[in-house]
């Protein structure tokens, strides 16, 4: 408590205690208000429940998307979206000029009608086959797994491979593959002459057996 004292020959006066200055409190900031919210058109109804509720990051990562094929806007296709509340990937559509028959063991580079700008070097996108098409029809990716770097801004193209023994028709707008975004850890290499030994060491293929 701070006081001020004034002295004379026979008396002493003490001022009343001064009130402590009020501390300014910053207004509360709502984290939820900072979360970018996608339009209703860009999300399937079931996914709207979980939008912005990423348990790992706590927010939805904004990604810029450019529509290169107007049919995505002018039809029921729409932008890529999560088809269920907890889906990990969004589906990519085959934006071909016409329905196309893919012969057995044939390959085709399929345009998706979109381009992305991730703008984050710690992010990438992977393109994967759709489970049902791969299991039931033998339709997978020609490169098995696609990797999209954060600085690539061209149209997303999907190499489709019909590994089955039957022709398969890819229709315009078919959801032909799925895209999953992943965080990236960038490393710095340090050259050394030897490693600290581990129990496994250089033991490679089959070193842990199958049972």
Phi–psi pair at 174, nearest 5 degrees? -60, 140
Distance CA 26, CA 184 (A): 35
The per-residue pLDDT for range 168-179, each reduced to its tens digit, is 999 999 999 999
pLDDT digits (tens, 9 = 90+) for 192-205: 999 999 999 999 88
- Output the pTM of the full model: 0.71
Question: What's the pLDDT score for residue 210?
Answer: 81
- Spell out, as residue ranges, where the chain has pLDDT lower than 70: 1-58
- Domains of the chain listed by start with CATH number: 42-183 (2.70.40.10)
pLDDT of residue 56: 53
Q: What span, in angstroms and rounded, lies between the C-alpha atoms of 166 and 103?
A: 7
Give the pLDDT of residue 19.
52
The whole-number pLDDT of residue 46 equals 37
């Amino acid at each position: 408590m701070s006081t001020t004292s004034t002295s004379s020959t026979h008396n002493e006066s003490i001022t009343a205690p001064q009130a402590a200055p009020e501390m300014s409190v910053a207004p509360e900031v709502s984290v939820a208000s900072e979360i970018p919210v996608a339009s209703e058109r860009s999300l399937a109804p079931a996914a709207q429940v979980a939008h912005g509720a990423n348990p790992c990051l706590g927010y939805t990562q904004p990604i810029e998307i450019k529509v290169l094929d107007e049919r995505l806007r002018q039809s029921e296709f729409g932008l890529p979206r999560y088809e269920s509340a907890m889906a990990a990937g969004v589906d990519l559509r085959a934006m071909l000029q016409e329905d196309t028959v893919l012969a057995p063991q044939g390959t085709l580079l399929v345009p998706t009608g979109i381009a992305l700008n991730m703008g984050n070097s710690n992010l990438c996108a992977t393109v994967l086959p759709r489970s049902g098409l791969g299991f039931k029809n033998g339709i997978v990716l020609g490169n098995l797994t696609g990797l999209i770097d954060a600085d690539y801004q061209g149209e997303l193209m999907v190499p489709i491979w019909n590994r089955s023994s039957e022709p398969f028709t890819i229709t315009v707008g078919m959801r032909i593959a799925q895209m999953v975004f992943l965080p990236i850890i960038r490393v710095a290499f340090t050259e050394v002459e030897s490693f600290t030994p581990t129990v496994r060491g250089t033991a490679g293929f089959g070193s842990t057996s199958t049972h």
